[in-house]
């Protein structure tokens, strides 16, 4: 279709039901790896990106279901740390899983998401932040190998306010002992929503929506029900 022709001048009325935002749901799905138990995420659209993220969680040992607008995730057995190359190429947001898997398993292997080449700048922002928190990172044959056994709290300043890097560092820091500060962060509404979700799980995070986010790492988080924005 080359164009849409709209004839206006008519009054409109009625109501529509608005689903929660995909950009809020995807990092929240990744965050379910940070706790064991049954999560319910309400009011979700059944779209391909969410389906792909669900398949990735299944491959990591979780159990994903979509039933009547709600996402059900049982993360109790999510003990795998290698993220599917095939699925990651379908979804650039698969990079969110890196922070979740590292928080859960202390190691992760992930391909460059969406088929990105090595050295892709947005990915480097994530990796630079992880490295500043003590994560050991190696790149071999298009795969990223990460080890967070010696991860520690840090004061990290992002090169630019990347939404994905902000969210990924929040996931890692939520279970990393000490006080982590992330500066020059993204301020989008989904960042605030991820903070609210993690805090509902038992995390201690504040500052989302402003220029810096402060995270006090906890030893354990819990599964919850939640409705994203």
Which residues carry out catalysis?
116
Closest-CA residue to 224 (of 61, 30, 32, 22): 32
138 phi and psi, to 5 degrees? Answer: -130, 145
Q: Which of 34, 74, 36 is nearest to 58 (CA)?
A: 74
Structure tokens at 88: 């990651």
CA 188 to chain centre: 14
Q: Are 188 and 180 in contact (CB under 8 A)?
A: no
In this structure, are residues 94 and 113 in contact, taking their beta carbons and an 8 Å threshold? yes
Which residues have C-beta within 8 Å of that of residue 188, sequence separation ≥ 6?
A: 23, 163
């Amino acid at each position: 279709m080359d164009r849409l022709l709209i004839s206006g001048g008519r009054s409109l009325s009625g109501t529509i039901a608005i689903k929660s935002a995909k950009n809020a749901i995807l990092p929240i799905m990744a965050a379910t790896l940070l706790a064991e138990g049954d999560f319910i995420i309400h009011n979700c659209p059944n779209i391909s990106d969410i389906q792909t993220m669900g398949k990735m969680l299944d491959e990591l040992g979780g159990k994903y279901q979509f039933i009547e607008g709600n996402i059900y995730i049982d993360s109790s057995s999510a003990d795998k740390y290698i993220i599917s190359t095939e699925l990651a190429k379908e979804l650039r947001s698969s990079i969110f899983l890196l922070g979740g898997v590292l928080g859960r398993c202390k190691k992760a292997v992930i391909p460059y998401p969406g088929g990105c080449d090595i050295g892709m700048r947005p990915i480097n922002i994530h990796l630079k932040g992880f490295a500043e928190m003590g994560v050991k990172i190696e790149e071999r044959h298009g795969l990223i190998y990460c080890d967070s056994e010696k991860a520690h709290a840090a004061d990290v300043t992002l090169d630019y306010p990347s939404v994905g890097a902000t969210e990924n560092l929040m996931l890692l820091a939520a279970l990393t002992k000490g006080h982590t500060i992330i500066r020059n962060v993204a301020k989008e509404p989904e960042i605030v929503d991820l903070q609210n979700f993690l805090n509902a799980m038992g995390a201690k995070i504040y500052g989302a929506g402003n220029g810096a986010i402060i995270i006090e790492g906890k030893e354990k988080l819990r599964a919850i029900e939640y409705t994203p924005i």
